[in-house]
Amino acid sequence: MDLHYDLLIRNAMVIDGTRRPRFAGDIGVRDGRIADIGLLAAARAEIEIDAHGKIAAPGFIDAHTHDDRLLSSDPAMTPKVSQGVTSVVIGNCGISLAPLVDAAPPPPLDLIDDGGAYRFPDFASFLEELEGRPAASNAACLVGHTTLRVAAMSRLDRAATAAETARMQEMAREALAAGAVGLSTGTYYPPAAHATTEEIIAVAQPLKDYGGRYVTHMRHEDDRIAESMEETFRIGREVGVPVFISHHKVVGPRNHGRSAETLALLAKAGERQSVCLDCYPYNASSTILRADRIALSSRILITWSKPHPEFAGMELAQAAGRLGLSQEQAVASLSPAGAIYFSMDETDVQRILQFDETMVGSDGLPHDLKPHPRLWGTFPRVLGHYCRDLGLFPLETAVYKMTGLTARNFGLKERGVLKAGYWADITLFDAAGIGDAASFEAPTLPARGIDSVIVNGVPVWREGRSTGARPGRVLRAGAAKERAANA
């Protein structure tokens, strides 16, 4: 055994991401990969980290993000790296930056735009830019159906014509050939709400040829959720690919408790097809501001507003009062805008998180003025609040839900598990001290208890701050196709 490494983590308690019980060990890293795990007391390295009293886990994989533009606007990826996240899945909810050239795209595409972000005529040029100017974290990329619709259709208030569907299918194929790991939809949102199930099945056809995934923010998460789940399962079966239900939740007081039913549906569907889901650990959601959420929510907080940025952080009811308008009228005068909706039941959140197949995904919105705290707090909140404090599951399971399970579901080869030969994405944290600090009142506070974060063998977070290193790569579903980001 060669006892010299680039980086050596000593005296760690290793949780390897497979759910196997923790064990004491050292981790030797060479050329970006884990060379050895075991007792390496005699070894030496350029960089040595004493992890006494700390957990060494695979770097967390954020299964659901809208970090598409954050990767270039804040390549240090502070909201994510500070939580121990080493890889993000971007392009969710039908929203991807490519392929689309549009100076003023309709909501919800504006969630990740500040004007001029949609400037990639094809997916390959987007990935080229990501690889040419790497971020601190890795990224696996989905292509968004809503983006395709905006690019291919002259009007969005109808189903696509045969020619438009063919065009979208061709663009989806180009994205997958370039390295997208799947297609996402957001039929909840107006620009995609008129898409028929048949349109989606047609656009998704190339997924089968490329081993891609179908990932969806479903049409309904409230009264008609079961129907939307059936539509999702049907799309997966007809295309012949795994389906992912994004940020699974049941919305509105009438539906509280129905996760018992939806999880049973998921388990049943899982007997005949591949079904995955992600969840964020909060009982409030966040997206664009919409009047149809008023009746479903006990409280609504404004996260941003183009015409009235001064209302960010304020309750909608209070903003309406100031404007002398009803809440419905206030939505119209504040839009385009974003909001946080208190519309879920805590029992449902916990039941969904506990479900065996549930991955952790933040769904954070990094460009909101007063974002939902999930952007900065998701992973430490699962590890601290839900795992340690409430005892929802053992720490090994919590780690698995944010590492090994996610890598397996997305086909991210040689990631998500601490194992010799795998890429060295590693997070060191303090199991007793880890916790989310971000709150609805102060949503951008970094988490507590993250010690060090290593991406592809390179430390990106030490002693509570970014190191400035940007070793992130674009992750393709299959290691052979993965190219070095900074080759």
Q: Which is nearer to Cu ion, 173 or 247 (CB)?
A: 247
Rounded to the nearest whole angstrom, what is the least distance from the CB of residue 217 to Zn ion in the complex? Answer: 3
The reply on whether position 93 binds Zn ion by CB under 5 A is yes
User: Measured from the CB atom, is 93 or 168 closer to Zn ion?
Assistant: 93
Cβ 249 vs Cβ 293: under 8 Å: no
Please tell me the distance from the alpha carbon of residue 258 to that of residue 248, in angstroms, as a whole number. 12
Q: Cα–Cα–Cα angle for 112, 118, 122, nearest 5°?
A: 125
For 273-290, b where at least 16 C-beta lie within 10 A, e where not — what string?
eebbbbbbbbbbbbbbbb
Tell me whether strands 85-90 and 450-455 are parallel, antiparallel or unpaired.
unpaired
Q: Which is nearer to Cu ion, 93 or 399 (CB)?
A: 93
Residue numbers of the site for Cu ion (CB under 5 A)? Answer: 92-93, 363
Phi-psi region of 478 (alpha: psi -120 to 50; beta: other; left: phi over 0): left
We find the least distance from the C-beta atom of residue 190 to Cu ion, in angstroms, to be: 16
In whole angstroms, the minimum distance from the beta carbon of 266 to Zn ion comes to: 17
Kindly state the tokens that stand for 150: 């905006």
Mapping DSSP to helix (H, G, I), strand (E, B) and coil, where does residue 40 land? coil
Question: In this complex, which beta carbon is closest to Cu ion, that of residue 169 or of residue 232?
Answer: 232
CB of 96 to Zn ion, least distance (A): 13
DSSP symbol at 110: G
For the bound state, the minimum distance from the C-beta of residue 149 to Zn ion, rounded and expressed in Å, comes to: 16
**Beta pairing, strands 299-305 & 337-342:** antiparallel
* Range in contact with Zn ion (rule: CB under 5 A) among 92-100, 132-140, 366-374, 435-443: 92-100
Smallest gap from Cβ 432 to Cu ion, in A, equals 32
Q: Which residues between 339 and 358 bind Zn ion (CB under 5 A)?
A: none
Closer residue to Zn ion (CB): 217 or 219: 217
Between 12 and 109, whose beta carbon lies closer to Zn ion?
109
Distances (CA, A) of 91 to 69, 117, 260, 427, 480: 10, 13, 29, 24, 22
Q: Which is nearer to Zn ion, 76 or 360 (CB)?
A: 360
By CB under 5 A, residue 308 contacts Zn ion: no
69 contacts Zn ion (rule: CB under 5 A): no
Token couple for 7: 């980086």
Nearer to Zn ion among residue 338 and residue 446 (C-beta): 338
Decide whether 169 or 287 has the Cβ nearer to Cu ion. 287
Please, what's the b/e burial string for 324-352 (b: 16 or more CB within 10 A of its CB; e: otherwise)? eeebeebbeebbebbbbbebbbeebbbbb
How far apart are CB 139 and Zn ion at their closest, in Å? 18
Q: Which two tokens stand for residue 142?
A: 């989905």
Residue 103: count other Cβ atoms within 10 Å of its Cβ: 10
CB of 396 to Cu ion, least distance (A): 27
Q: Which of 16/363 has CB closer to Cu ion?
A: 363
- Residues numbered 212 to 251 that lie near Zn ion (CB under 5 A) are 217
Neighbouring residues of 485: CB distance < 8 A, sequence distance ≥ 6: 130, 131, 134, 471, 472, 473, 474
- The entry of Zn ion, Cu ion, none near residue 456 (CB within 5 to 8 angstroms by kind) is none
Question: Least CB distance from residue 374 to Cu ion, whole Å?
Answer: 10
Residue type, 311: F
How many residues bind Zn ion (CB under 5 A)? The answer is: 2
- Cite the DSSP H helix spans in 74-121: 78-81
Cβ at position 186, least distance to Zn ion in Å? 6
Interface positions with Zn ion (CB under 5 A): 93, 217
